[in-house]
Amino acid sequence: LGEDALTEILARLPCRSLARFQCVSTSWRRIISSDYLRRRLPLITSGVLYHDGPRGGGGDDGARRAYTYARAPDGGGGVAEAGDMGFFPRHDSSTIIDGCNGLLLYYASRPTAFHVVNPTTRRWAALPAPRARTLLSVLAFDPCASPHYKVVCFTGWLPRGATMEVFDSERGAWRDHEVDFGLDTDTMSATMHYFGGALHVLAYSSHVVRVDLDTMDCAVTALPAPVSCRARAGHCRGRLRFASSDGTRLRIWELKDAGASEWALKHEIGVNDVVPGGSSQAITFLFMAFHPEREVVYLWSPWKLLAFDMVERRVEEEWMFGSEKEGAHLIQIWLFPFSRHLANALA
């Protein structure tokens, strides 16, 4: 077979088979590892991190939450647990504070330390301590662009901006920065999304601020609807999207022109779309994430995770957490492509 025909065949195989077929020959390994084939492949899966251990009280159990990493297997159905996070570095008081495209940001307060954790490869890297007290921390990582990551720590607030320390894993050091949001700092929320080298921060009552992590320049764009605790920003097919939900109805806009703050309403779904015949009083759902390439969104409805196709207006896949997980608290969802970049991350 020629390489073009072989690539077409390989692109239709499950990821497990592709991993095995890298051992067939050096030419197959080169084709399977190529960026062209990676772009043709679907996402591996969606991942969920939750804890179902003690969430309050004192003592050792309260300080060390029982985190579990779960992955949604091919074909739907139940959730395949990838085990508890027992390989995490242990500290007296610690928690997971952020996740981005398959990596997790883990913080210990005694002693003060940041770690970046890769639950897929079960590896982690300790970061040097930041020089200033941290008020808010965010992880920035794009496995398709680079195996390196950044950790952004907001260390102080200014009337219209903030002071920050940014750790770059490629340099292995923290750097101080000062940013001007272009809005009063009191309007900034803690809801952030990383994409394309920039943080996108939702701001009350209806703006999104883009912070370029290379230049530290900020740009403000007006949103089509007010920001609430259920609002989220994300990207699909390279375009910024904004999701606003009241728990029973979800509206999704796409940014057409950032300079003119021009948005287009792409989709609107309700409880009856997700659960035909369902009662809006009895059923609610939370928006979790956009699929980066398809018109699919991920929703959380107790106690299950749904992949909803907004074009076909139907639930594409459903993963049950089961009644035994009634005490579970959902923390994070991420999506990542078939790629060695995630395995090559330093964490």
Query: Which pLDDT score is estimated for 36?
Result: 73
Query: Which pLDDT score is estimated for 82?
Result: 46
The DSSP symbol for 26 reads H
User: Do 92 and 4 share a domain, yes or no?
Assistant: no
User: Do 99 and 222 share a domain, yes or no?
Assistant: yes
Query: Which pLDDT score is estimated for 216?
Result: 96
Query: Which pLDDT score is estimated for 65?
Result: 53
User: Do 28 and 46 share a domain, yes or no?
Assistant: no
User: Do 214 and 256 share a domain, yes or no?
Assistant: yes
Query: Which pLDDT score is estimated for 58?
Result: 41
Q: Which residues of the chain have pLDDT under 50?
A: 44-45, 55-64, 72-83, 347
pTM (predicted TM-score): 0.79
Q: Give the 3-state secondary structure of 50-61.
A: EECCCCCCCHHH
Nearest to 88 by CA among 57, 109, 102, 67: 67
User: Do 170 and 249 share a domain, yes or no?
Assistant: yes
- Quote the CA–CA distance of 294 and 143 in Å, as a whole number: 19
User: Do 34 and 175 share a domain, yes or no?
Assistant: no
Which residue range(s) make up the domain with 170? Answer: 42-53+63-340
User: Do 27 and 77 share a domain, yes or no?
Assistant: no
**Neighbouring-strand partners of residue 6:** none
User: Do 24 and 46 share a domain, yes or no?
Assistant: no
* CATH number of the domain that residue 88 is part of: 2.120.10.30
User: Do 273 and 178 share a domain, yes or no?
Assistant: yes
Query: Which pLDDT score is estimated for 75?
Result: 43
Query: Which pLDDT score is estimated for 9?
Result: 86
Question: Per the structure, how many domains does the chain have?
Answer: 2
User: Do 235 and 312 share a domain, yes or no?
Assistant: yes
User: Do 28 and 106 share a domain, yes or no?
Assistant: no
Residue 345 belongs to a domain = no
Question: Contact, 343 vs 121, CB < 8 A?
Answer: yes
User: Do 147 and 186 share a domain, yes or no?
Assistant: yes
Helices assigned H by DSSP within the chain: 3-10, 15-21, 26-33, 35-40, 59-63, 271-274, 341-344
